[in-house]
Structure 1
Amino acid sequence: MYRLTSKLVIYRNIGKDSILFKLADIFQRFSTGQYVKEDLITEIYDQIHNLLDLSTRYGFDKNLWHNYLAFLLAMSENPFTLVSEKVGANEGTVNEFAKGDFAIFKQLFDYDFSAIEKELGIDCFSVVLNYKAIVKSEQIFNKSVSEKVQQLSTDIEKAEDESEMYKIVTDFYRTYGVGKFGLNKAFRVNHNENTRQAGEILEPITTTGNMSLDDLIGYESQKQKLIENTEAFVKGKKANNVLLFGDAGTGKSTSIKAILNKYYSQGLRMIEVYKHEFKDLSTIISEIKNRNYRFIIYMDDLSFEEFEIEYKYLKAVIEGGLETKPDNILIYATSNRRHLIRETWSDRSDMSKDELHRSDTMQEKLSLVARFGVTIGYYRPSQQEYFDIVINLAKKYPEIKLTEDELRLEANKWELSHGGISGRTAQQFINHLIGVADD
């Protein structure tokens, strides 16, 4: 194994601390006979533990060794893979090095562990080659990455040679991309200082919901505006930053999450940023501006009190400063406030003790909203619209046996004691009915 990994060229940046290179070092010492048996077994079990830990995080199953090697190929960011995610297979001398590396990976896929198992009296490699994972909730592992990597692993298993493997892997890069941005939908700011120092400002959000725009009953014109702007964006056309404002519980956040699911396959990614993280916006943009994806920076429940000044940083990022905002980045925000920043009556008067031209303060605050080219209002539904939402949601759950009249009656009772009329209240009512339904 050491002989194989030492010849890698394109994928040499996998890292000496990886499971692959640690095992390669172990096998090198085993082949020379320069080892203490008990120590070598301990080192092997350490790497098997790391392999099982990785497999649990990503929900791998069956041949964990194959899944791990496919995971390395899917996550390795280097000049070859970054070009391949844009154009797929392409002509160039670098292809010879790539095919050489793929030939090595194919041999690693087919590696025979029987000799070391027999000599050391262990069977851990045989176990991970035929592994049956415990069924886990999707909340525990990264399903988005898991499904793609396991399919890549299966495809590579069927490859006859390095040329066929080259096509399989470059097609994968072209379809899904490479690394964390290729395989994940959404990201948040990483607050772990150790990994941040290594340039990892963003970390994947591994469990995103599967909501669709159809799940949001009503608000058709609002959803259409959001679709039109987002479609223009993912197609590389001019598009605007978007502010969704209005009453609480009306589906603003749901709309944006559904938009991510709708356009993820077309290269859309989303980064969740809170206002206390605005200081990181410039660093975030630097990390993503040259990638082959379209990024929405998502700011949920955005609002500012009059004493908060973080909105000034946001204004500078949206428009202003010497460096223009890259074409592959937009900002989508939700807020219960139409103007985002709390205003006072003194803002509207030049007669103030502490400022000569107080109305200038109001104009400065309002200028933030003006930097969102599209503003979409989400308003509290009427009583009849609320009933329509309840009835349509109930149709999705056969266990709910109430008639429409009964649903209206119970929904009316529910909203009177649970926060008033809204789409959120309707969903909470449906959740209640499901919870108390007979099995």
Structure 2
Amino acid sequence: MAEPAGMTDLADILRRLAELGETKSGETTDWRAAPAYVWTGTSGKPVAQIAAPPLALLKGIDRQKAAATENVARLAAGHAAHDMLLWGARGMGKSALVRSAVAAAQEDGAARLALVQAGTDSLDALPALFAELAGQARNFLVFIDDLGFAEGDTHGPRHLRSWLEGGVEARPDNVRLAVTSNRRAIVPREMSEQDDPINPRDAVDDRLALADRFGLSLGFHACSQDEYLAIVAGYAGEHGLDWDESEALEWSKRRGARSGRVAWHYVTELAGRAGQKL
């Protein structure tokens, strides 16, 4: 005998609800299972291993390295720690330092701390991430790499200020932010700001106010020739590669910069010639 129409409809609704529940449960993140995650906007994708160079190989940034690793170690231990802004020259190890500092802190207990990378296109979904991380028996460093805001964008900077300074969407006590940017002020600044005859400092101060909300601000600058060669020597020595100083300098000249990234590209070239993986 066929089921009444109402019963059929009810069974179909219950089936769909069950499927929806399975989908949602499949997206549930175990925030204690992995050393790092990538926030997709709705869930955390676990990362089995943090790809980061040993801290000893990060040359030419000793002051920044000491400050960042100490701050991350405090966060891992559950002590007071700062939100961090790492700004300045491209290729000088800003994002590598964040990853390396977390990896080093995890050596004393991986369960204490996890890295969560959030893309710059998922800023609006950060409150949902904070809601998931709040109350977890673990500390988290939420990492936003290469952050910048377009001219005239007030939405993003306003939310970031709220997260940093205890607004209604503020990050929970077990979470700190690490942001890298090529600009000290994160947002773009125009020369006209300096020429405004009415309160000429107001616009500049407002732009810098966002950066000033980070308790720890670390500047990175282009390295000297000696620092560049030291970086090359460190990477080459780590992988047992022979290298030539004059060739290393010529490599940097052709690229118009001396940086840790340029040094790594040169060492990658050496490894390729030697038929070696890195």
Global fold match (TM > 0.5)? yes
Q: Give 1 or 2 for the bigger CA radius of gyration.
A: 1
Matched, 1:299 2:167: no
Instruction: Check the 8 A contact 1:246/1:338 in 2, yes or no.
Output: yes
* Aligned pair partner of 1:190 in 15, 24, 40: 40
Pairwise mapping of residues 40-189 of structure 1 onto structure 2 (< 5 A)?
180-189=30-39
Residue equivalent to 2:119: 274
- Residue 221 of structure 2 is matched in structure 1 by 379
1:386 deviation in Å? Answer: 1.0
Task: Provide the secondary structure at the position in 2 that maps to 1:395.
Answer: helix
Q: Deviations over 1:282-306 (max 9, x none)?
A: 1110110110111111111112232
How far apart are residue 332 of structure 1 and its match? 0.6
1:311 aligned onto 2:152: no
CA distance in structure 1 between the aligned counterparts of 2:153 and 2:36, rounded to whole angstroms: 28
Counterpart AA for 1:363: D
Shift of 1:430: 0.6
Q: Quote the offset at 1:326 in angstroms.
A: 1.8
Instruction: Tell me how far apart the structure 2 counterparts of residues 371 and 415 of structure 1 sit (CA, whole Å).
Output: 36
Secondary structure class of the residue paired with 2:46: strand
Q: Give distance in 2, aligned partners of 1:305 and 1:182.
A: 36
State the one-letter code of the partner of 1:284.
Answer: L
Look up the equivalent residue of 2:92 and give its one-letter code: T
Structure 2, unaligned stretches of length 5 or more?
1-17, 20-25
Q: How many residues align?
A: 248
Deviation at 1:266, TM superposition (A): 5.0
| 1:370 maps to which of 195, 212, 237 | 212
**RMSD of aligned alpha carbons:** 2.4
Q: Give aligned-pair identity as a percent.
A: 27
Q: Deviation at 1:232?
A: 1.6
Of residues 205-214 and 218-227 in structure 1, the stretch that sits farther from structure 2 once superposed is 205-214
Residue deviations 1:362-386 (CA, integer Å, cap 9, x gap): 3322110011011112211111111
**Bigger shift: residues 208-217 or 234-243:** 208-217
Structure 1 residue 401 corresponds to structure 2 residue 242: yes
Superimposed CA distance per residue, residues 339-382 of structure 1 (whole angstroms, 9 cap, x where no aligned partner) = 1111112223444xxxx767533332211001101111221111
What is the CA–CA distance in structure 1 between the aligned matches of 2:81 and 2:58, rounded to whole Å? 24
Q: Per the alignment, in what secondary structure is the counterpart of residue 203 of structure 1? A: strand
Is 2:163–2:171's contact at 8 Å kept on the other side of the alignment?
A: yes
Per-residue deviation at 1:281?
1.3
Q: Aligned AA for 1:254?
A: A
Report deviation, 1:323: 5.9
Structure 1 window deviating more from structure 2 (245-254 vs 389-398): it is: 389-398
Q: Distance in 2 between matches of 1:366 and 1:401?
A: 45
The answer on whether the counterparts of 2:162 and 2:169 sit within 8 Å (CA) in structure 1 is no
Is the Cα contact below 8 Å between 1:245 and 1:376 reproduced in 2? yes
**Match for residue 284 of structure 1?**
129
1:423 to 252, 260, 263: 260
**Distance 1:249-1:333 versus aligned 2 partners, 3 A rule:** same
Give me the whole-angstrom Cα distance separating, in 1, the residues matched to 2:126 and 2:50. Answer: 22
Larger RCO: 1 or 2 (CA < 8 Å, sep 6+): 2
CA distance in 1, matches of 2:235, 2:38: 30
Whole-Å separation in 2 of the counterparts to 1:234 and 1:221? 20
Q: CA offset at residue 262 of structure 1?
A: 1.4
1:391 alignment partner in structure 2:
233
Q: Secondary structure at the match of 2:270?
A: helix
**Secondary structure of the structure 2 residue equivalent to 1:180:** coil
More helix by share: 1
Distance, in Å, in 1 between the alignment partners of 2:265 and 2:37 is 27
Structure 1's 320 and 346: CA in aligned 2 closer, same or farther, altered over 3 A? farther
Q: Does the alignment pair 1:411 with 2:255?
A: no
- What is the Cα deviation at residue 330 of structure 1? 0.4
Q: Distance in 1 between matches of 2:195 and 2:208?
A: 15
Shift of 1:416: 1.2
TM-score between the two structures when normalised by the length of structure 1:
0.53
Change (3 A) 1:289 1:418: same
Q: Could you tell me the TM-score, scaled by structure 2's length?
A: 0.81
Distance 1:364 1:212, change over 3 A: same
Describe the shift of the 1:324–1:424 C-alpha distance in structure 2 as closer, same or farther (beyond 3 A).
closer
Secondary structure at the aligned position of 2:80 is classed as coil
Structure 1 gap ranges (5+): 1-15, 18-74, 78-178
1:157-214 deviation per Cα after TM superposition (whole angstroms, max 9, x unaligned): xxxxxxxxxxxxxxxxxxxxxx6321212222325xxxx4xxxx32223453142212
Q: In 2, are the aligned partners of 1:346 and 1:358 still within 8 Å (CA)? A: no
Residue 172 of structure 2 aligns with an amino acid whose one-letter code is: P
Asked whether the equivalents of residues 211 and 261 of structure 1 are also in contact (C-alpha less than 8 Å), the reply is no
